[in-house]
Amino acid sequence: MKKLMVYSLSSLLLLTSCATILTGSSRKVLLESNPTGAVVYVNGMELGTTPALIKLKADDRLDFRLKDYKDKVVVVDSRFNLVAIINGVSLVGWGIDALTGSLRRVKTKYIKVDLDTQSLAVQGYLEKGRISKVVIDEMSQVIETTIVLE
């Protein structure tokens, strides 16, 4: 009887948080841009230049920035992690997988973006001008910036 109890408890602990243990919450994704050399920001943090192999989590925000080109924003696709089903009726396993973010898995292994050139009217507007006034209206959540071109 004691052996059965030990085996049952051991199997319960081993089968908890299966998605966290087997797949984790992140995946390495190859990032490329056309043209190459764009700086990649993941959730606001600079992590490299294209081409780059970067570990991403579900719903990460990617910003691709290159001088004289418009910024491109991509949100990483994700889907339900089927490995989590092994948790079965274990609330502990489902809870751990939810807390670690392993219930969702990055869907793609490759992201390529085409960067568009900026129009001449917009290109370099901050280098040629100065900010003369900034008005922040917290009630309507509007920021108004006045730039004087010199």
Residue 130 located in a structural domain: no
Query: Per-residue pLDDT for 21 more than 90?
Result: no
Helices (H), 48-124: 91-100
Q: What ranges in 58-114 are assigned the alpha helix state H? A: 91-100
What span, in angstroms and rounded, lies between the C-alpha atoms of 5 and 93?
19
- Residue 41 has what pLDDT? 93
Residue 33's nearest CA partner among 25, 44, 41 is 41
Q: Looking at the 3D structure of the chain, how many domains does it have?
A: 1
Domain assignment present for 6: yes
Check whether 122 has a pLDDT greater than 70.
Answer: no
Mean pLDDT over the full length of the chain: 75
Answer with the residue of higher pLDDT: 17 or 109. Answer: 109
Is the predicted pLDDT of residue 28 greater than 90, yes or no?
A: no
pLDDT tens per residue across span 29-55: 899 998 999 999 988 888 889 998 988
Residues 111, 97 contacting (CB under 8 angstroms): no
- Of the chain, the percentage scoring pLDDT greater than 70 comes to 58
Domain that holds residue 89: 2-118
Q: How far apart are CA 27 and CA 90, in angstroms?
A: 25
Residues whose CB falls within 8 Å of the CB of residue 43, separated by 6 or more in sequence, listed in order = 60, 61
Predicted TM-score (pTM) of the model is 0.61
36: three-class secondary structure by DSSP: coil
The answer to whether position 140 is within a domain reads no
Closest CA to 9 of 110, 147, 1, 22: 1
pLDDT of residue 6: 63
Q: Could you tell me the CA-to-CA distances from 6 to 11, 13, 16, 94, 149 in Å, in that order?
A: 9, 11, 16, 22, 76
Whether the CB-CB separation of 76 and 43 falls below 8 Å is answered with no
| Pairwise pLDDT comparison (136 vs 88), residue with the higher score | 136
